Every structure is written in structure tokens, then in C-alpha cells.
């Protein structure tokens, strides 16, 4: 009877995962979708604790350890989520994703140890005769992918918060491929080894996977970080699915497959948005070492940029028919999303049509700007994806760029020497007037100069985004 109830709980959990993921596809339902999926996970966790039986018919034990872990994890996760700033959200996502990869790797290690423990007397028996090839592939894949996801996510976390700098060297592609071959070689060696000699090759699997995860992410720089976050997320999902196979846990299997598939699809979309091939992502060196775009014979020379006063900017926007706001990482740094929404409402009261143009990789992770603006209760129907926004720039009177840089750089279309050449961008230069708010003329995350800043129709409005927007609100009200 308990087994049937457990199966029913897993089915309910799996259905909630699917429904929750579907709801996450829309900003209007994303919050409810997250709660639905969380409820399903809660059901799966407690059903496993109280209803799951091992092969010998015994229930789980060590409840003190289990609930101690649940309580500590719940408190730590809740405090981290409540205290995290919007600018640090990508870092938290990377860190939590790394913990998921580590858990998946530990599950494989535990299953390997369990198999070793019950057969440790047969020291001369090959491991391959005790474990089927399918089961072993699942164990090895969970250990390898989970470890890569863990170390890669930790490096990504360090790079996002500035603790770790980009690092690459000549021939890194080749070194990465050699290490990957060594990982697979160690896995084959472990499967063919006798039980008495199994520890060394299995430790080498973890060691080489650990090193590969580091080298995989270390060279990544510029605006490519959203791609690697998506990819590592899919790795964790696949590793979790391996754990579901090992324990015949339908909920864990379904959740892992959904995360892995969603992460993979998102990776492909991010690659398209960044004009990167998935092959370059997999071999582990892309976007690093971006340098300023150069023309023939040296550094590309730019004309002079022009500034605009707050009063003039307010006048131009207040008397416009249509204003498009392009949010970027600078808006998140300044925590200015609420003030931006206030400016939108003030302009709307004056009859100005206001919309937001969202680039898929603006910020430091996929959907960063959507989350930022949703926190400020910006209406979802005002958020335009890149393709739709580009269709409207030609009929836009004023574009206000708030802290965005690389995603509006025309060099991606016009300069074959630019490191971001070929990357789809928001074509803000088609608008009648472009106002760019930045703290300084410092290059963006990709480390290159922005051609947009020197175009005749572009004016620079320097200052902290929140302070500038507050002053703009006051100026527009007085028009």
C-alpha cells in the first residue's frame, strides 16, 4: 500500500514540475509556477523520507541527520535568497547550481561505495562482472557531469563577483580535450579493474573531472557568461537524472530531465543570441581575452561624444510620442528599477507611450532584466523581446539606454574586427534620438569601446542610474 502511495506522490510531483516549468515561461505566471514546482518537490521529499523502502524492505533511518540537513539547508537558502541583491542574483544562481552538481556527484560516489562495500570480499572479481554496463555508465556519468558542474559553477560564481579573473593560455583547447579523454579513460579503467584495485581509477575520474570543470570556465569572459550559466544548469539536470536512474526515483528522474532539457534549449538560445557555436562552448574556451576592436594599422579611432543636460533630456522625453527604455547591468547595480518604473508612469501620464527593449543576455544571466523589472511591478506587456523591439525602434522618438553597453553596440553589425561581431543586438541607432546613461565612458563587460556613443544622434547622460532617474522624474513633472 505504501509503495502505491509513494508512486502516486512521485507522479504528482512530476506533474507539478512540468506545470511549474510551463508557467515559468511567462513573467505573469512565473512566480506561481515556482511555488507549484516547490510544492511538488516538498511532496517528493517527504514521501521519500517516510514511504521509500530499500531492497531489503527496510525504511530509511538516521532521521536526525536527514532533518538536520533539511533544516540547515532551508535556513541557509532562505536567508541567502532574502538578502541577495539583484546584482548578485547570477552569483547566487551559479553557487546554488554548483551545490546541485556536487549533490549529484556525491550520489554517484555513494552508489559506487555501496557496490564496493557489499562486494569487498571479492578482491579479484572485475567490477564489470558485478555491475551492468548501463548502471555503471549512469554512475560514472553522474560523477563526471556533477563534478564538472560543481567546479565550473564555483569558478563562474568567483568570476561574477570579481574574485576570479579570466585566465587562458595557448593550446587550451587541446589541453581541455586531453583532460576530457583522461576522464573517460579513467572511467573505462575503473569498470575493467578488479575490486581490490578499483579505488585509484575512480578517484582519478573525480580528479580529472574536477580539473576539467575549472579549465572549462576559466577562459570565459566578456558578455558570454549567460551562456555558460545555462550550460552548467543543464549539466546539473543531467547529473540529477542519473541519480534518478540509480535509485529508480521517478520524481528525481523527471526533475533532472526537465532541468537538463530546459538548460540545453536555453543554452542553444543563448548561443544564438551571442553568436557563439555550441561546439565552442563544449570545448571550453570562448569569449575570453576580448580586446578593443581594431581597424587597419592600430586602434580604431572614434569621434567626440556629446553630453546632454538633465533638463534637455527631460524635455526631449516629455514631448516625445514614444520612448523605449533599454535596461542593462548598470540599472541593476544602481538598484534603480523602481525609479525607472516611476519615470515610466510619469511619462505615461503625459501621454507618452513607454516600452522596454530586453536583450536576452543583458545583465549577467538569462532573464536578468526581466526579473529586475518584475520586482518593480513593471507591466509584462511592456517588455519587448529583442526581435519585436528592433521592429519598433524606427518609429521611436527617444531611446533611453540605462547601463546597457555591449547589447547595443553597432560594432556587432558593422565591424568584422570586433570581438562581438555577428552578435544580435538591440538596434537602438534606428531611433530618432538616443540618450545613454552611464557612470563613465569605461567599456562594458566585453571590454570593448561602444561605437554607439560617438554617433551624431547619441547623447551621453553621465551619473548613477538611480540618481539620474530621480532627477529626470522631477524634471519631467515640471514640464
Instruction: Give the catalytic positions in this structure.
Output: 406
SS3 303: coil
Dihedral of alpha carbons 333, 338, 342, 347, sign: positive
CA 10 to chain centroid, in Å, comes to 28
Task: Give the residue from 289, 284, 287 showing the smallest Cα distance to 209.
Answer: 284
Distance CA 473, CA 467 (A): 10
Place of cell 543531467: 238
CA of 345: how far to CAs of 80, 149, 307, 320, 381, in Å?
A: 32, 43, 25, 14, 14
**Alpha-carbon dihedral of residues 351, 356, 357, 362, nearest 10 degrees?**
160
Place of cell 562482472: 129
SS3 134: helix
Strands 294-295 and 322-327: unpaired
Q: Which CB contacts under 8 angstroms, 24+ apart, belong to 28-32?
A: 28/380, 30/374
Asked if 325 and 340 touch (Cβ cutoff 8 Å), the reply is yes
Distance CA 12, CA 254 (A): 11
Residue 232 cell numbers, joined: 552548467
Place of cell 585509484: 200
Contacts of 477 (CB under 8 A, 6+ apart): 346
Q: Phi then psi for 414, rounded to 5 degrees? A: -110, -15
Angle at 362 between CA 356 and CA 363, to 5 degrees: 120
Amino acid at each position: 500500500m505504501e509503495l502505491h502511495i509513494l508512486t502516486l506522490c512521485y507522479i504528482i510531483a512530476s506533474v507539478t514540475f512540468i506545470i511549474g516549468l510551463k508557467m515559468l515561461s511567462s513573467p505573469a505566471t512565473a512566480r506561481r509556477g515556482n511555488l507549484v514546482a516547490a510544492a511538488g518537490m516538498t511532496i517528493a521529499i517527504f514521501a521519500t523520507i517516510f514511504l521509500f523502502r530499500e531492497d531489503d524492505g527496510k525504511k530509511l533511518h538516521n532521521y536526525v541527520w536527514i532533518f538536520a540537513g533539511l533544516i540547515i539547508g532551508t535556513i541557509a537558502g532562505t536567508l541567502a535568497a532574502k538578502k541577495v541583491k539583484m546584482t548578485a542574483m547570477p552569483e547566487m544562481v551559479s553557487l546554488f547550481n554548483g551545490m546541485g552538481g556536487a549533490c549529484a556527484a556525491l550520489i554517484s560516489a555513494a552508489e559506487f561505495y555501496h557496490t564496493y562495500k557489499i562486494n569487498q570480499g571479492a578482491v579479484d572479481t572485475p567490477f564489470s562482472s558485478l555491475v551492468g554496463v548501463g548502471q555503471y555508465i549512469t554512475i560514472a556519468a553522474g560523477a563526471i557531469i556533477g563534478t564538472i558542474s560543481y567546479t565550473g559553477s564555483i569558478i563562474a560564481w568567483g568570476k561574477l563577483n570579481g574574485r576570479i579573473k579570466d585566465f587562458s593560455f595557448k593550446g587550451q583547447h587541446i589541453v581541455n580535450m586531453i583532460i576530457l579523454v583522461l576522464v573517460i579513460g579513467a572511467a573505462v579503467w575503473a569498470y575493467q579493474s578488479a575490486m581490490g584495485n578499483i579505488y585509484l581509477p575512480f578517484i582519478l575520474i573525480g580528479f580529472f573531472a574536477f580539473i576539467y570543470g575549472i579549465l572549462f570556465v576559466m577562459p570565459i569572459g566578456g558578455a558570454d557568461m549567460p551562456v555558460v550559466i545555462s550550460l552548467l544548469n543543464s549539466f546539473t539536470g543531467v547529473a540529477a537524472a542519473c541519480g534518478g536512474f540509480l535509485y529508480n526515483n521517478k520524481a528525481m528522474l523527471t526533475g533532472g530531465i526537465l532541468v537538463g532539457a530546459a538548460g540545453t534549449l536555453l543554452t542553444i538560445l543563448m548561443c544564438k543570441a551571442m553568436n557563439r557555436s555550441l561546439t565552442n562552448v563544449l570545448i571550453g574556451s570562448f569569449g575570453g581575452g576580448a580586446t578593443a576592436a581594431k581597424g587597419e594599422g592600430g586602434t580604431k579611432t572614434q569621434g567626440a561624444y556629446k553630453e546632454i543636460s538633465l533638463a534637455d533630456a527631460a524635455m526631449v522625453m516629455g514631448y516625445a510620442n514614444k520612448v523605449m527604455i533599454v535596461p542593462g547591468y548598470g540599472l541593476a547595480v544602481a538598484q534603480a528599477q523602481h525609479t525607472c518604473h516611476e519615470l515610466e508612469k510619469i511619462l505615461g501620464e503625459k501621454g507618452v507611450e513607454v516600452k522596454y527593449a530586453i536583450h536576452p543576455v543583458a545583465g549577467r544571466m538569462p532573464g536578468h532584466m526581466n526579473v529586475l523589472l518584475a520586482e518593480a511591478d513593471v507591466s509584462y506587456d511592456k517588455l519587448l523581446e529583442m526581435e519585436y523591439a528592433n521592429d519598433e525602434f524606427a518609429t521611436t522618438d527617444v531611446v533611453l539606454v540605462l547601463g546597457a553597453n555591449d547589447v547595443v553596440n553597432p560594432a556587432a553589425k558593422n565591424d568584422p574586427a570586433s570581438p562581438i561581431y555577428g552578435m544580435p543586438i538591440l538596434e537602438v541607432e534606428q531611433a530618432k534620438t538616443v540618450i545613454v546613461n552611464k557612470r563613465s565612458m569605461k567599456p562594458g563587460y566585453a571590454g570593448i569601446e561602444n561605437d554607439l556613443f560617438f554617433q551624431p544622434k547619441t547623447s551621453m547622460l553621465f551619473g548613477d542610474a538611480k540618481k539620474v532617474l530621480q532627477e529626470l522624474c522631477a524634471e519631467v513633472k515640471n514640464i
